Amino acid sequence: MVTGGTRGIGAAIAEWFRRAGDTVYAPGRAECDVTDEAAVHAYFAKLGLVDVLVNNAGVSSSAPLAKTTVHDWHDQFEVNATGAFLCTREVLPGMRQRDHGRVVTVASTAGHAGFRYTAGYTASKHAAVGLTRAVAAEVAGSGVTANAVCPAFVRTDMTAESVARIRARTGRNETEAEAALAAAAPLGRLLEPREVAYAVAFLAARETAAINGQTLVLDGGGIQR
């Protein structure tokens, strides 16, 4: 089960698992609004048992703290943190019952460090990482694991929106604006969605049962945890 699975990172993750022969459910917001408790419960009730949950659905906005609205703050927390909580809560009992399951949350380098003009996003991704660690502590030793992937900027529609904001604010062209984002990490380029998909698949594998409560950072070495 991959939330936010219709485009970008989510679509790449879903395709990776499909190519491996897995049955994949990858709803968009119209099919499963992860911020709606009743909708999440109804969707997962139709699925039955889930072996792997990928909490990928996410949103972002950018503004100085003084110009960040309560609506933007709440929206990012509801999708990035509460959505992961609601979906994880649905699958965990079945995973515990079978002593097997993987919960992988797509967080961000913003789940480890603070970045300018992203108060809501950074705080919500820190919350997602905290949720991952709390779940990992709860399921430790059960055969269920919870981990997070924390990529730097990835070539997605969401990043394209960030590039557009930089262009509008600074007058830079697209190449220059993209380079400014890429420079935030030692990798020096935007990640491709398939790179994040590979990291998720790695943490979802049976062979990684000993990895629990960890964050896999994809940024070329800038954040070392």
List 25, 43, 117, 121, catalytic entry: 121
CB environment 165-190: b (16+ within 10 A), e (fewer):
ebbeeeeeeeeebbbbbbeebebeeb
Q: What is the rounded CA–CA span in Å between residue 16 and residue 175? A: 29
With vertex at residue 166, the alpha carbon angle to CA 164 and CA 169, rounded to the nearest 5 degrees, is: 110
Is residue 43 part of the annotated active site? The answer reads no
Burial of 19 (0-12, 13-18, 19+ CB in 10 A): exposed
Q: How far apart are CA 124 and CA 95, in angstroms?
A: 25
Dihedral angle computed from the Cα positions of residues 59, 88, 123 and 171, in that order, rounded to the nearest 10 degrees: -20
**Catalytic residue positions, numbered:** 121
